[in-house]
Amino acid sequence: MSTTSATGSGDTGTGRYLVLLQEDSAAAGLRTMARVAGLRAASTADVSSFRTADALSGADGLLFHDLGVAVVTAAHDQADALLRAIADRGPIARIEPERTVHAYTAPPGESDEDTVQGRGPTLAEASLTWGLRALGIGDDTATGAGIRVAVLDTGFAVDHPDFADRDVEARSFVDGEDVDDGHGHGTHCIGTACGPRAPEEGPGYGVAPGAEIYAGKVLSNAGSGTDGDILSGIAWAVNNGCAVVSLSLGAPTQAGEPHSETFETVARRAMQRNTLIVAAAGNDSDRAGGTIAPISHPANCPSVLAVGAVDASMAVANFSSGTVDPNGAVDVVGPGVNVHSSWTMPERYNSISGTSMATPHVAGVAALIAEKHGARAWELWARLGQSAQRLPLPSTDVGAGLVQAP
């Protein structure tokens, strides 16, 4: 496997690194890290917590056993020692610096008032949001019952009345913060993916109201986090048998920049455990100004389903990142402009825009397909694309098209 310098331009200054191990090499990988770099890492096979912060209190890092990747705190010389060990064709496959990631919400001014009204009744008059109607959701649509959906984001408003009768499995992977959402972004995404279709107030906004919600807090109340936090959440979701993981987050990339081999391998290994990862393509474009940004990390990985955004007129959202080179492609699109969903209290609801809002729409549809057809992993991916509504737009912007409820 090709490698890059462990101290290259991707270093975020966190002092942590992702260490990818060869398949079924967890024990040997731990021994090699200790032998060549003096690094001691705990393993989720031996500890109950998936929190990297917890592991680092008594070790140099944490190995996510089921994913075969460790997050370690290492000096540059230790990282270089691990990099040299790759040449020995041992258990260590790759090392790369950890990135900082952020929640994806479009800049202010990206939501036009006529967007919601551009597709039939206004929110006040409609029983369902424009996004749910665009997905073809009706009274007889599946609900995602029995399907576990993990939304990894800024947490969840545990006191939200629309979820009072729902069982929500919640876990924080952010050091020093509980799962309660102090931002709003996570609660909005959870509502879109799995909220109610008949709330006490306003239109129905949840694609899969019968799904089992796994709310993983991997971004702080300020809306930022790290690769290690994301991996903690993915490992937790895979371990709990979630069919879908929704990631409305990421880090910008440059044209020509390769995807993370570590996250690509993690996504493939998650697929082997029947977990599909769905991620936001990114909000870095300014299409009106002639700029289309490349797909963000980790959505640019080939085995992560990358989601772009469209508005109610079925135009590509101005901010939506696109396919600009072979290093990342839009796979499908979802409603992502002026999306109404749950929010933290006392506001209760909010309408915001972003590929972040499109992503949980797609994750919710994946849950519906998983329920109706029993599809998982690559079959689930294929059904999402095959059943999507084709749009008269370049596939570089919308992939297979707008996902549709079964």
The answer to whether the CB of 377 falls within 8 A of the CB of 303 is: no
Whole-number pLDDT of residue 334: 98
Q: Which of 303, 321, 351, 356 is catalytic?
A: 356
DSSP state of 272: H
Active-site residue 153, yes or no?
Answer: yes
Q: How many C-beta atoms lie closer than 10 Å to residue 354's C-beta? A: 28
The terminus-to-terminus CA distance of the chain in angstroms comes to 40
Active-site residue 356, yes or no?
Answer: yes
How high is the mean pLDDT of the chain?
A: 90
List the domains of the chain with CATH numbers.
Answer: 16-98 (3.30.70), 103-398 (3.40.50.200)
Tokens of 205: 């906004």
Q: Give φ, ψ of 253 to 5 degrees.
A: -125, 165
Give me the residues paired with residue 309 across strands: 334
Average pLDDT over residues 299-324: 97
Whole-number pLDDT of residue 8: 38
Average pLDDT over residues 360-378: 98
Q: Which of 113-122, 261-270, 365-374 has the lowest mean pLDDT?
A: 113-122
Task: Tell which wins on pLDDT, 104 or 293.
Answer: 293
What predicted TM-score, i.e. pTM, was given to this entire model? Answer: 0.92
Whole-number pLDDT of residue 46: 81
The answer to whether the CB of 338 falls within 8 A of the CB of 327 is: no
The answer to whether the CB of 190 falls within 8 A of the CB of 153 is: yes
Residue among 380, 389, 336, 404 nearest 147 (CA): 380
Omega of the bond leading into 298 within 30 degrees of 0 (cis) = yes
Whole-number pLDDT of residue 59: 81
Whole-number pLDDT of residue 107: 60
Q: How many C-beta atoms lie closer than 10 Å to residue 221's C-beta? A: 18
Placement of tokens 């990862």 in the chain: 277
- Would you state the torsion angle of the CA atoms of residues 158, 161, 166, 167, taken in this order, to the nearest 10 degrees? 20
Whole-number pLDDT of residue 14: 73
Average pLDDT over residues 105-122: 48
Q: Which of 11, 60, 153, 331 is catalytic?
A: 153
What angle (nearest 5°) sits at the alpha carbon of residue 105, between those of residues 229 and 259?
50
Whole-number pLDDT of residue 108: 56
d(CA 375, CA 355): 25
Residue 297 pLDDT class (50, 70, 90 cuts): very high
Residue 13 pLDDT class (50, 70, 90 cuts): low
What angle (nearest 5°) sits at the alpha carbon of residue 118, between those of residues 116 and 124?
40
Q: Which of 65, 183, 185, 340 is catalytic?
A: 185
Quick: pLDDT tens for 24-47.
999 999 999 999 999 999 998 886
d(CA 368, CA 208): 6
d(CA 406, CA 384): 9
CA atoms within 13 A on the CB side of 279: 30
Torsional sign, CA 28, 34, 37, 43: positive
